[in-house]
Amino acid sequence: MLRHSVAAAALIGTALFTGAAFAQSGKVTVVTSFSKDVTDPFKQAFEKAHPGVTLDVQNRNTNAGVKFLEETKANNQVDIFWASAPDAFEVLKSKSLLQKHKPKAEGIPDKIGSYPINDPENLYSGFAASGYGIMWNDRYAKANKLPEPKDWQDLAKPVYFDHVAMAAPSRSGTTHLTIETILQGEGWEQGWRTLKEVSGNFRQITERSFGVPEAVNSGQVGFGIVIDFFAFSAQASGFPVKFVYPTVTTIVPANVAVVANAPNKAGAEAFVDYLVSPAGQEVLLEPSIRRLPVNPAVYAKAPADYPNPFKDPSLGSRVKFDVDVSEKRTNVVDVLYDQTVTFQLDALKAATKAIHDAEAAIAKKDNADAKALVKEARGLVAAVPVTEQQASSPEVAGAFTGGKEKGARQAELEQQWAAFAKERYQQAQAKAEQALKLAR
Amino acid sequence: MAGATTAGRAHAPSVSSRFMRLSATPGQIALALGITVFLVLFLIVPVGTVIYVAFTEKGTGEFTLVNFLDFARTDLFIRSFWNSVYVSAMSVVVASIFALPLAYITTRFEFRGAMLIQTLGFLPLIMPPFVGAVAMLLLFGRNGTVNLLLDEWFGIKIPFMEGLNGVIFVQAVHYFPFILINLSTALRNIDRSMEEAAQNLGSSGFRLFRRIVFPLAMPGYIAGASLVFVKVFDDLATPLLLNVKDMLAPQAYLRVTSIGIADPMGYVISVVLICMSILAMWISARAMRGKDYATVQRGGGGLAKRTMRPWESALAYAAVLLILLLVLAPHIGLLLLSFATIWSFSPLPDAFTLAHYGRVFGESFVYVKNTLLYASIAGLIDVVLGTAIAYLVLRTKLIGREWLDWAATAALAIPGVVLGIGYLRTFYGVQLPDGTPLATLWITIVLALAIRRLPYALRACYAALQQISVSLEEAAENLGATKMRTVRRVVLPLMAGGILAGFVTSFATAAVELSATLMLVQSNADAPLAYGLYVFMQSAAGRGPGAALGVIAVLLVALCTFASHMIIEKSQRAKGASR
């Protein structure tokens, strides 16, 4: 059996090799997390613009793609890495798996919103942008008589309890950026307070980005915090969903990079150049793709109501975003969210529900003691086990990346943080229940 | 004769016979070595290159056991551990409730459509990734068909798919075929004379089943139940789909696949999963020890099939229909989804269309071809290895033979993504003479599939061999047949049902596996159906075409399963007739 398979393998290997040699100049291998709806139009347009070149698209989720490049670097066969999450590119960059390339394109500004479009060292380039917002299922909202939300804070209202979903920031680079934007915009303490108040209304925290629009599309969850094109493409396919950009939102670029030691370097660079060229940028306007071009001139060809981050100040430019601050504490923020929210969701929801009930009772019958108790409960929910300084300190960050100095281990920190949060959620729930009794 | 040999083995044997028993024939040793090499090369080494991280200190890479201490000290992991144990045990109970009536009715009675029921009862195992989940949520979710109707009529909702109980429900629906298929095979293999003897002595009805029939079918039941337990313990897809994260397998997956964090705990959990799987198999082997399930007379076509009285028959049909409706609901949902235009927050889709099939028709051909090719080669490798390992463990006295069984079983506990990374790490550096990495060939996908599905085939073959009396082989050898000839002419034909059951299980589940495949697929031309499905299921517009591909996958595997059931029935009937 074994000998047979080796023989078969050798035979097929030869076939593959001769095939590859034949089209040497013409095959560009792309590893991407984008769906067929996005890759197919680009493949067609690019192959038309460069006759004789074929684009070989391999679909992998972002994590698998990064791991794949890492494991195969000794004998790399991939030319292009193409995905949304900027953090994935950061990881690839830090492992020297990318190759420098400055795209030959004019008219592309340095920043979109407050986020830089290209990597400062030109190891990867932004080719499109997307904004975060709230998507909801219209039938669901009507059936449950829920109002249309306009802003992030709306989602913290009691009426949305158990109706909202989001992807975990540790699993979705774009969600991570949204969280980070809130933390930078509102400050560490207040930012976590907002995050936990919204999170207390969550129905679920999914482990992949597409899980959220999928749940909203099928009506399992009413409202989702999603990246805009998920909502737009769902609308284009006919799902009864609506979408709104909150007054303050992040704009995040989607990126492309040439892989280090790409077998077809010239082809890879041609593809990157094509993506940011006016022709490539126009492909982004197709209904099934609907992402925001990084070239401001291209918006002239867009439909009338197309969002334009270069004109509309609410799209990204109101937010201050410091990339350095974000980078230093990426892992800390992710793990902190997972340990205090994702894995403690039941306790957090119980506390949130109790607070909502108590506040409703107080609204009917005022009681100063009860009010004080609820305020205490809210404070307990909002508490964070690490300060802003600690979060970006090398000791804490080193626990996640495996720094040389001996600090606490990741597992120890996780246990501490989880216990901290759980204890406080339970106390908060008790206080809120006490307040409810007083106000009744 | 047979009795004498058995007695001789049980009591102090003479020196010469002891020597004879302990040493195996050169052929057996070569076989054992061959299997060992295969498992080491394609399972232990690739997985070892990944999970050794569990034993190292982060940053320095020095050997340490502190990570396991951390595991024990973390509330989340301990909670996850007990949740996993609870869910696995309860899934076995619920799955048994689904499987027992189906297996019993279709093998014990003259029942029209028994073959069809066996095939349909097998389908839940073939749950295409992603779409199966979507379909299930659309039916049983909080705002699925059932709950929307219940809410409209009675103002209530039933949380079918929430929390640990939701996981138990979905897992039981998904994996009960393991029990069904192994138990049915075992029931077919029971010596009819045992039952007749009991009946002659006055036993009948439920007592006959409880005291005679079920105990004799025990190897099949244990094989199925232990598979369900271990599979549920190690499964990550269902808990994640239901957003239950405090179980062990999802915890391992979330940690192994998060980018940028060098976290040993994911691998520590993998090691714990592997140990638990081996422990569960060891316990089930212990439970069977000291009992003899083998029956001498074979080929009688299994249990006598009774004709049912009209009311019995009505009852049986009602029970079967009810169970089938429940366990096939996901597939009914899938079918609806593949024809649906929009299906959102409503009991049924808004309208129906054929467009999704049109969209996948052209490109699905290459996926179908690849899937059939990969899954059948993987299934073949599995039954060959499974039969060989079962034979070595049950029929020889080779030292350490159980380790072959346990190593193969451990594959069940290894997350597909770990195996995928291990394969890349081990075989990407290995180059063919022309410079192509070994890992880019499709045969790598086949090997990964074979390793991942080997435990299924192994359990089926193991159970089949347990039911065969050694005295039959001894008789053949006493008549002068060589070991080789005995195996070929006596053992294999008698095991045929079990081997086929093993092949079908491995084949069908390999046809829809994704996690390792996703890591190893190198180009669209080499991709199997599950990968095509994955590509579609990343966008709203792809849901319908994805479901259509899912239906094609299910139909394809169902056809193959039906065909093999036909073969089993035919061969059984042929044997029965020649008696």
Q: How far apart are CA A118 and CA A116, in angstroms?
A: 6
Strands A80-83 and A251-259: antiparallel
Instruction: Give residue-wise pLDDT tens across range A290-315.
Output: 899 999 999 999 888 888 888 887 77
Fold of A131-250+322-439: D-Maltodextrin-Binding Protein; domain 2 (3.40.190)
Q: Which residues of B touch A228 (CB under 8 A)?
A: none
pLDDT computed for residue B301 by the predictor: 53
Contact assignment for A218 to B343 by CB distance below 8 Å: yes
Distances (CA, A) of B236 to A212, B101, B413: 18, 28, 10
B494 pLDDT exceeds 90? no
Q: How far apart are CA A439 and CA B386, in angstroms?
A: 68
Mean pLDDT of B310-328: 88
Question: Which of B67, B447, B542 faces A35 most closely, judged by CB atoms?
Answer: B542
Distances (CA, A) of A295 to A84, A302, A349: 17, 12, 43
Q: Which residues of B touch A64 (CB under 8 A)?
A: 257, 417, 420, 518-519
Q: Which residues contact B78 (CB under 8 A, 6 or more apart)?
A: B72
Number of Cβ within 10 Å of residue B188's Cβ equals 23
Contact assignment for B345 to A218 by CB distance below 8 Å: yes
- Percent of chain B exceeding pLDDT 70 equals 91
Question: Which of B261, B535, B540 faces A400 most closely, judged by CB atoms?
Answer: B261
Mean pLDDT of A140-152: 93
Residue A16 carries which side chain, given as an amino acid letter? L
Integer distance in angstroms from the first to the last C-alpha of chain B? 23
Report the gap between the CA of B539 and the closest CA in chain A (Å): 6
Strands A164-167 and A223-227: parallel
Question: Which of A8, A205, A219 faces B344 most closely, judged by CB atoms?
Answer: A219
Q: Which residues of A touch B431 (CB under 8 A)?
A: 75
CB A98 within 8 A of CB A124: yes
Q: How far apart are CA A399 and CA A414, in angstroms?
A: 10
Q: Which residues of B touch A87 (CB under 8 A)?
A: 259-260
Number of Cβ within 10 Å of residue B71's Cβ equals 20
Q: What is the CA radius of gyration of chain B?
A: 25
Q: How far apart are CA A306 and CA B412, in angstroms?
A: 50
pLDDT computed for residue B297 by the predictor: 60
Q: How far apart are CA A333 and CA B380, in angstroms?
A: 48
Contact assignment for A9 to B141 by CB distance below 8 Å: no
Contact assignment for A214 to B71 by CB distance below 8 Å: no
Mean pLDDT of A184-195: 92
Mapping DSSP to helix (H, G, I), strand (E, B) and coil, where does residue B318 land? helix
Contact assignment for A75 to B432 by CB distance below 8 Å: no
Q: How far apart are CA A283 and CA B35, in angstroms?
A: 54
**Which of A100-104, A396-400, B295-299, B416-420 is most confident?**
A100-104
Contact assignment for B59 to A90 by CB distance below 8 Å: no
Q: Which residues of B260-278 are buried (b: 16+ CB within 10 A; e: fewer)?
A: bbebbbbbbbbbbbbebbb
Between A70-74, B32-36, B340-344, the lowest mean confidence (pLDDT) is in A70-74
Q: How far apart are CA A125 and CA A31, in angstroms?
A: 15
User: Token digits for A290?
Assistant: 């609907």
pLDDT computed for residue B12 by the predictor: 39
pLDDT grade for B6, boundaries at 50, 70 and 90 = very low
pLDDT computed for residue A12 by the predictor: 44
Q: Which residues of B touch A33 (CB under 8 A)?
A: 538
User: Token digits for B519?
Assistant: 């890591």
Q: What is the CA radius of gyration of chain A?
A: 24
Please indicate whether residue B95 or residue B262 has the higher confidence score (pLDDT).
B95
Distances (CA, A) of A20 to A29, A54, A56, B291, B330: 11, 12, 12, 60, 42
Distances (CA, A) of B515 to A75, B134, B309, B427, B507: 23, 18, 49, 18, 16
Mean pLDDT of A126-142: 93
Domain with CATH 3.40.190.10 in chain A: 2-130+252-301, 131-250+322-439
Q: Which residues contact B261 (CB under 8 A, 6 or more apart)?
A: A331, A334, A335, A400, A401, A410, B255
Between A30-44, A249-263, B282-296, the lowest mean confidence (pLDDT) is in B282-296
B22 pLDDT exceeds 50? no
Strands A27-32 and A111-112: unpaired
Contact assignment for A410 to B265 by CB distance below 8 Å: yes
User: Token digits for B391?
Assistant: 């034979």
Report the gap between the CA of B37 and the closest CA in chain A (Å): 10
Report the gap between the CA of B138 and the closest CA in chain A (Å): 7
pLDDT computed for residue A215 by the predictor: 92
Domain ranges of chain B: 22-57+66-573
- Helix, strand, coil fractions of chain A, as percent rounded to 5: 55, 15, 30
Question: Which of A12, A219, A409 faces B58 most closely, judged by CB atoms?
Answer: A409
pLDDT computed for residue A242 by the predictor: 94
- Percent of chain B exceeding pLDDT 90 equals 25
Report the gap between the CA of B340 and the closest CA in chain A (Å): 12
Please indicate whether residue A158 or residue B556 has the higher confidence score (pLDDT).
A158
Contact assignment for A62 to B67 by CB distance below 8 Å: no
Mean pLDDT of B343-364: 89
CB B213 within 8 A of CB B190: yes
Distances (CA, A) of B470 to B390, B396, B465: 13, 11, 9
pLDDT grade for A405, boundaries at 50, 70 and 90 = low
pLDDT grade for A148, boundaries at 50, 70 and 90 = very high
User: Token digits for B260?
Assistant: 């940028």
Mean pLDDT of chain A, nearest integer: 87
Mean pLDDT of B148-163: 89
pLDDT computed for residue B46 by the predictor: 92
pLDDT computed for residue B23 by the predictor: 55
| CATH number for domain A2-130+252-301, candidates 3.40.190.10, 3.65.10.10, 3.40.50.300, 3.40.50.970 | 3.40.190.10
Q: Which residues of B touch A14 (CB under 8 A)?
A: 434
Strands A115-116 and A241-244: unpaired
Q: Which residues of B touch A218 (CB under 8 A)?
A: 134, 137-138, 141, 143, 343-345
Contact assignment for A218 to B141 by CB distance below 8 Å: yes
pLDDT grade for B296, boundaries at 50, 70 and 90 = low
Residue B326 carries which side chain, given as an amino acid letter? L
Mean pLDDT of B226-246: 87
> Across-strand partners of A243?
A135
Largest Cα–Cα separation, chain A? 83
> Which residue in A274, A252, A244, A228 sits closest to A128, CA to CA?
A252
Q: Which residues of A touch B144 (CB under 8 A)?
A: 220
pLDDT computed for residue B338 by the predictor: 93
Instruction: Give residue-wise pLDDT tens across range A411-439.
Output: 899 999 999 999 999 999 999 999 999 98
Q: Which residues contact B513 (CB under 8 A, 6 or more apart)?
A: B416, B449, B452, B453, B530
Mean pLDDT of A172-189: 87
User: Token digits for B385?
Assistant: 């290895």
Q: Class of the B22-57+66-573 domain? A: mainly alpha
Q: Which residues of A touch B83 (CB under 8 A)?
A: none
Residue for token digits 């609901």? B329
Question: Which of A59, A233, A343 faces B246 most closely, judged by CB atoms?
Answer: A343
Q: Which residues of A touch B346 (CB under 8 A)?
A: 139, 219
pLDDT computed for residue A191 by the predictor: 92
Instruction: Give residue-wise pLDDT tens across range A278-291.
Output: 999 999 998 878 89
pLDDT computed for residue A1 by the predictor: 40
Q: Which residues of A touch B531 (CB under 8 A)?
A: 59
Contact assignment for B443 to A398 by CB distance below 8 Å: no
- Residue among B436, B440, B515 with most chain A CBs within 10 A, to mutate: B436
> Which residue in B161, B164, B182, B185 sits closest to B91, CA to CA?
B164
Please indicate whether residue B425 or residue A283 has the higher confidence score (pLDDT).
A283
Between A30-44, A360-374, B131-145, B181-195, the lowest mean confidence (pLDDT) is in B181-195
pLDDT computed for residue B1 by the predictor: 33
Q: How far apart are CA A326 and CA B127, in angstroms?
A: 41
- Residue among A3, A18, A31, A35 with most chain B CBs within 10 A, to mutate: A35
User: In which region does residue A58 sit, left (phi positive, over 0), alpha (psi from -120 to 50) or beta (all else)?
Assistant: beta
Between A39-53, A333-347, A354-368, B528-542, the lowest mean confidence (pLDDT) is in B528-542
Q: Which residues contact B251 (CB under 8 A, 6 or more apart)?
A: B76, B77, B80, B245, B266, B269
B7 pLDDT exceeds 60? no
**Which of B19-33, B103-117, B179-193, B498-512 is most confident?**
B498-512
pLDDT computed for residue B290 by the predictor: 65
pLDDT computed for residue B572 by the predictor: 66
Q: Which residues of B touch A414 (CB under 8 A)?
A: 74, 76
A390 pLDDT exceeds 60? yes
pLDDT computed for residue B579 by the predictor: 40
CB A255 within 8 A of CB A122: no
Number of inter-chain CB pairs under 8 A, A vs B: 224
Question: Which of B343, B417, B436 faces A13 most closely, judged by CB atoms?
Answer: B436
CB A238 within 8 A of CB B353: no
Report the gap between the CA of A439 and the closest CA in chain B (Å): 30
Contact assignment for A409 to B417 by CB distance below 8 Å: no
Number of Cβ within 10 Å of residue B569's Cβ equals 15
CB B410 within 8 A of CB B510: no
Mean pLDDT of chain B, nearest integer: 84
Strands A292-293 and A125-137: antiparallel
Four-residue CA torsion sign, A219, A222, A228, A231: positive
User: Token digits for A283?
Assistant: 């492909």
pLDDT grade for A352, boundaries at 50, 70 and 90 = very high
CB A272 within 8 A of CB A80: yes
B122 pLDDT exceeds 60? yes
Q: How far apart are CA B55 and CA B61, in angstroms?
A: 9
Mean pLDDT of A394-418: 81
Distances (CA, A) of B145 to A328, B241, B341, B345: 47, 18, 16, 8
pLDDT grade for B260, boundaries at 50, 70 and 90 = low
Mean pLDDT of B435-457: 88
B323 pLDDT exceeds 80? yes
Report the gap between the CA of B540 and the closest CA in chain A (Å): 5
Please indicate whether residue B129 or residue B333 has the higher confidence score (pLDDT).
B333
Number of Cβ within 10 Å of residue A77's Cβ equals 22
**What residue of B is the nearest CA neighbor of A35?**
B538
Report the gap between the CA of B386 and the closest CA in chain A (Å): 14
Report the gap between the CA of B70 and the closest CA in chain A (Å): 6
pLDDT computed for residue A406 by the predictor: 63
